[in-house]
Amino acid sequence: MKFCRFGAKGAEKPGLVDAQGRVRDLSAHVPDITVDALPRLVGIDPETLPLADAGVRYGVPLTGVGKIVAIGLNYRDHAIESNLPIPTEPVMFLKAVTSLSGPDDDVVLPEGATHGDWEVELGVVIGQTCRYVEQADALDHVAGYVLANDVSERFDQKQRGSQWSKGKSHDTFCPVGPWLVTADEIGDPQALDMRLDLNGERMQSGNTRTMIFGVAELIAYVSRYVTLLPGDIMITGTPPGVGEGKRPEPVFLAPGDVMSLAIDGLGTQRQRVVAFDRALLG
């Protein structure tokens, strides 16, 4: 099943996406989309739910996200284009939950930004507490999957000390959605095509089968160091084609640029890049 949250920012309603791609209103059944609410929604007939208006805005597809655990350099060619060693263990960092935004909301470059970049990624929504989980059992702890854009400011990430989170956690730097797709609908998370275009030009094209560390291995590994709770999101790395890796010269985001991205089965996103303005961030 595909779940979503729709409507104006701060006033999103819970929704379900039917077989025709139309948004159905779940407000009569649950107050919002959370991992805990999902079991109560299994088996609901979409045809019994009222339709939302066409063209409605999508928000982040679930609420109650406690943390975002990100994995860096998880595709060999991306590590190479970044001029960094190919990891022998997963590279972990945290991305602030305040970076979350809707899939088609504007991406606001931080004040003074010079090195904005993009990363299409598979996001994993945790469904059960993960603490020292065995790899063989790891996928049983997944509630579903989401499309994510791990937007980055590379100067803040790499030139201001060793804390990647500084370049990854700016407001609007984690568009997620449009849907939370339940694990049973996706099946094998290591067989998903992914892509990202900038201003209509293909920048990234890959498949999750080429991850260095697969989803199950990542969950097991991370759970040794960080307890993953229901509603947490783990984003799992990006294939090659980021702006920093472009040759002969890198390409960085500028106001007016448009990023369009997709992962098979998880929908599409489209973000306009805008210049820093405090009023845009509330």
pLDDT tens profile 170-206? 999 999 999 999 999 999 999 999 999 999 999 999 9
Statement: residue 138 has pLDDT above 70: yes
Residue 162, pLDDT above cutoff 70? no
**pLDDT(161) > 80:** no
User: What pLDDT score was predicted for residue 1?
Assistant: 96
Among 245, 219, 266, which Cα is nearest to 73's?
Answer: 245
Q: Are 84 and 72 in contact (CB under 8 A)?
A: no
- E strands, 161-230, are 174-175, 180-182, 193-198, 201-207
185-217: b (≥16 Cβ within 10 Å) or e: ebeebeebebbbbbeeeebbebbbebbbbbbbe
* Mean pLDDT value across residues 80-95: 90
Using the predicted structure, report yes or no on whether residue 43 has a pLDDT greater than 90.
no
What's the chain's average pLDDT?
Answer: 95
- Measure the CA–CA gap between 155 and 31, rounded to whole angstroms: 41
Tell me the C-alpha distance between 136 and 255, whole Å.
45
Contacts of 166 (CB under 8 A, 6+ apart): 156, 157, 160
Q: What percent of the chain has pLDDT over 90?
A: 87
Give me the pLDDT at residue 83, please: 82
**Reported confidence tier of residue 63, pLDDT bands at 50, 70, 90:** very high
SS3 call for 51: strand
